[in-house]
Structure 1
Amino acid sequence: MTATPDFWIPTVALAVLLLGDALISIRPPGFIRDCLDGVGFPRDWWWALIVVKLLATAGLLAGLQYEGVGLTTNAAVIAYFCCAAYAHLRANFLGVVFWVNCLGMLAVSTAVLVVSYLL
């Protein structure tokens, strides 16, 4: 295991995905609104998710240069999507958005950690 990614392309791809997610969350489309409402996340706090995703993007990219930052950020992204999955399960909001978006991003972020840092 290394403190900077051996293979940097997956890390950059995850950063781009999170940046895109943050940008579309500024004016969230229906499926994002439905998801956040479906799990009972207060609308007054939606801005915090944008900040978290932007910070994760910055951390992943900074981790290309600074040892440990990307690995820690990648682990935090996995924790974020684990919390999102828990929120879905707790609210019994288990539609397509849960399976595709939430668990899909959990799988992608986990795969990036394995490919970039553990192999």
Structure 2
Amino acid sequence: MTLLPHIWWPPALLALALLIDVVLSLRPPKFIRDCLDGVRFPREWWWTLIVIKTTAVVGLVAGIWMPGVAFAANTGVIIYFVSAAVAHVRARFTGTEFWINCLGMLALAIIVQVLSVLP
């Protein structure tokens, strides 16, 4: 198995989706505020999510050329959204935000990982 993505655009697409999420999170619209409040994530810690997602964007983009970096960043994104899904379930906050935002991004991250490692 090579540690470079077989095709460049899936990690780039995931990086773009996360970058849009980062930009939106700088001044969170109602659906993001509702989501974070719904899982009872402390507002003082919201900035950490921006740092985590920005790091993932950098890793996904750098990993298009640097072996293993996109794989590691994508794995981190999957773990992030699995953790978010667990937080949603534990908080019993499983409305639209859970199904579309959380599980949608988790599905995208998994699909990107599979497409990146398949020959």
TM-score, normalised to structure 1, is 0.98
Structure 1 residue ranges (4+ consecutive) displaced by more than 2 angstroms after TM superposition: none
Structure 2 runs not aligned, ≥5 long: none
Distance 1:68 1:118 in 2: 14
Residue 11 of structure 2 aligns with which residue? 11
Residue 103 of structure 2 aligns with which residue? 103
How many angstroms does 1:65 deviate by?
Answer: 1.2
Distance 2:31 2:73 in 1: 26
Report the secondary structure of 2:89's partner residue: helix
Structure 1 runs not aligned, ≥5 long: none
CA contact (8 A) 1:19 1:57 kept: yes
Distance 1:58 1:118 in 2: 22
How many angstroms does 1:118 deviate by?
Answer: 2.8
Give RMSD over aligned pairs: 0.7
The size of the alignment, in residue pairs, is 119
CA contact (8 A) 1:2 1:118 kept: no
Residue 34 of structure 1 aligns with which residue? 34
CA contact (8 A) 1:60 1:74 kept: yes
Distance 1:118 1:71 in 2: 12
TM-score, normalised to structure 2, is 0.98
- Identical positions, percent: 55
Amino acid at match of 1:63: G
Where does 1:10-89 land on structure 2 (aligned, <5 Å)? 10-89=10-89
Distance 1:14 1:37 in 2: 25
Distance 2:47 2:106 in 1: 21
How many angstroms does 1:85 deviate by?
Answer: 0.1
Deviation sequence 1:6-53 (CA, Å, 0-9, x none) = 011111000000011001000000000000000000000000000101
